[in-house]
Amino acid sequence: MSDNKPTTIKPMQALVHGRVEASRSHEGMRYTRILTPAPDAYSRPQTVEVRSKAPFGAKGDEVTVLCKLGGYTRKPFEFKDKDTGEIIKVIPVDHTLDAVDA
């Protein structure tokens, strides 16, 4: 899975490439934090977390992982717009990345 680059990416998939910063296990799943390369010298690198059934790299390894994109909504909250006084309802969305099994 780590250097298994697909020729095509299907809808709701993402190809993640970067260096493994850390990983942990929780309830039978592996959560791997990956630091991606910065797009240019003036940008910051991005950090993502990929969930998988098995480990796919150790700390410091450079990996490429095909993932399924997912997400879920969290508890809504309201806030007051400072300029208009309008009450605005926000529904936060958390994104998930699940490694696609080869």
Residue pLDDT, tens place only, 80-93: 999 999 999 999 99
Q: How many CA atoms lie within 13 Å of 24's alpha carbon, on the beta-carbon side? A: 4
Domain that holds residue 91: 13-99
Provide the percentage of residues in the chain whose pLDDT is more than 70: 92
pTM for this predicted structure: 0.81
Gap between the Cα atoms of 50 and 23, Å rounded: 9
Q: Are 66 and 99 in contact (CB under 8 A)?
A: yes
Residue 27 included in any domain: yes
Over the chain, what is the mean pLDDT? 92
Distances (CA, A) of 52 to 44, 55, 66, 78: 26, 7, 11, 34
CATH of the domain at 21: 2.40.50.140
Number of domains in the chain: 1
Residue 55 included in any domain: yes
Residue 54 included in any domain: yes
pLDDT at 58 over 90: yes
